[in-house]
Amino acid sequence: MGSIAFQVSVAVWPNQFQYYAFLVKWVWIVCGLSWTAWLLSHPWVRKHVYARAAILPPTQSAVTLDPVPHPAARSKEPAHNVQFVGFKLFDFGSDLPGLALGLFCFENVLIPGKPIENFRFARLRVAYRDLSTGEVIAESFPAKWHGSPDAPIDILGGEKKCAVIASCIGSKWTTDSLREEPVNPRLSYGLGGTEYTRECFPLPLGRMKIEATLTGERNLSISPVSGVLTLGEIGSASFARDV
C-alpha cells in the first residue's frame, strides 16, 4: 500500500517531486541497510545460522607459530669452568733468600666450541688445621690475590689467578687475610666503597691440613681443595692434594 501511494503521489505532483530526485540513491541505501539489519536480527537466522557457525571447528590460521620449547629442552646458559690448577711456590731468587709466597692457582679453563661465563667476585677461604688433632690453627678469608690490591676479583674465561695462602720472610710463615670495612662517605667525598685492612696470622713450620673454598657471586662455588701443606725453613714449601 505504501508503494502504491508513493507512485500515485508522483503521478499527481510530478513537478514537486523532481526537486527531490537526488535523494533517491540515499533512500535505497537506507532501505537496503534496514532490510539487512532486519534479516540479521530475525529469530530464524539467529537460531539456524548463528548456532551452526558456533559449532563449526575454527579454520587454521595462515600464520604458523613456532612451539615454545620445554624448559628442559632449552639451551643452558653458559657456566664458568673454574678449576684448581695447582700449588705454586713463588720465590724472589737468590738475592732475597727466605722470601717466598705459597700460591693456590685457579683457572677458568676454556672449552672448545662452547662459551663460558666469567667467575665474578671470586673470594677464597682457607682453613689451617693441626694434622693430628684437627684443631684450627688459623683461617684466612678473604685471602689476598697475588698482584691485586682487592680481595674480590673476576676470573675471566681463559684467565688464571693465584691466591696467597702463605707468606715467608726468613724462616717465619704467615697467612694474610683482608678485612673488609665500609668507607665512611664523609671521608671519601660521598663515594663510599670498601676498604681492605691486612691481617697476618702466624703459621707453624711442618705439616698441616688445609682446606680452601672458592666462592663467587650468586653463591657460586667450586669443590673445596684439601690436602697437606708442608712449610719449611728459608722459604721452602710443598702441597700434597687429597685424592
* Residue 8 counted as domain residue: no
CA–CA dist 206, 3 (Å, integer)? 123
- Domain ranges, residue 188: 82-241
How many domains does one find in the chain?
Answer: 1
DSSP letter for each residue of 53-92: HHHSPPPPPSSPPPPPPPGGGSPPPP---EEEEEEEEEE-
pLDDT digits (tens, 9 = 90+) for 158-189: 999 999 999 999 889 999 887 767 766 665 45
Q: Are 79 and 116 in contact (CB under 8 A)?
A: yes
* Residue 17 counted as domain residue: no
- pLDDT < 50: residue spans in the chain: 61-62, 73-74, 188
Q: What is the structure's pLDDT at 74? A: 47
* Residue 226 counted as domain residue: yes
Q: What is the structure's pLDDT at 73? A: 44
With cell 674480590, the residue in question is 152
pLDDT digits (tens, 9 = 90+) for 25-39: 777 787 788 878 877
* Residue 185 counted as domain residue: yes
* Residue 192 counted as domain residue: yes
Q: What is the structure's pLDDT at 111? A: 93
Q: What is the structure's pLDDT at 98? A: 77
* Residue 38 counted as domain residue: no
Q: What is the structure's pLDDT at 189? A: 52
Distance (Å) of CA 126 to CA 20, 91, 226: 104, 21, 9
* Residue 218 counted as domain residue: yes
* Residue 230 counted as domain residue: yes
Q: What is the structure's pLDDT at 97? A: 75
